[in-house]
């Protein structure tokens, strides 16, 4: 299947929605979570240049869950923290955060 083929987009969107639903359900099992992030420079696969990305994980009840890798406009502390907060709010778990590392 050609990744550029637009006919695969609806299937991909539905898979993403299903994945997000399962992620939200899994995270709601833990009452509190600890957020972890580390800035990494990763290659953007769409235009072959390097961009700042921020891998974000949460841990709780002995398990670690990957949340996402948001793209950053720049690597400042404010941009990083805003990206993490936005991701937590998108998933509806911002009120479960016990600590941030």
With bands split at pLDDT 50, 70 and 90, how would you rate the model's confidence at 16?
Answer: low
For residues 26-30, give the mean pLDDT: 61
Q: What percent of the chain has pLDDT over 70?
A: 64
Instruction: Please write the tens of the pLDDT for every residue from 39-83.
Output: 666 666 677 777 788 899 999 888 888 898 888 888 888 999 999
Put simply, whether the predicted model's pTM sits higher than 0.85 gets the answer no
- The domain spans of the chain are 6-100
Domain 6-100 has CATH 3.30.720: yes
Rounded to 10 degrees, the C-alpha dihedral 71/13/96/70 comes to 0
Look up residue 24 and give its DSSP letter.
H
* Nearest-angstrom CA–CA distance, 8 and 4: 8
H-state helical runs in 4-43: 9-27
């Amino acid at each position: 299947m050609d990744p550029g083929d637009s006919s695969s987009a609806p299937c991909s969107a539905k898979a993403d929605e299903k994945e997000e639903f399962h992620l939200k359900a899994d995270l709601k099992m833990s009452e509190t979570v600890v957020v972890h992030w580390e800035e990494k420079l990763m290659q953007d696969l769409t235009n072959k240049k390097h961009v700042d990305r921020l891998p974000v994980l949460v841990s709780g009840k002995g398990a670690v869950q990957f949340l996402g890798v948001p793209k950053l406009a720049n690597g400042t502390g404010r941009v990083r923290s805003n990206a993490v907060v936005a991701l937590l709010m998108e998933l509806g778990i911002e009120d479960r955060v016990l600590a941030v590392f």
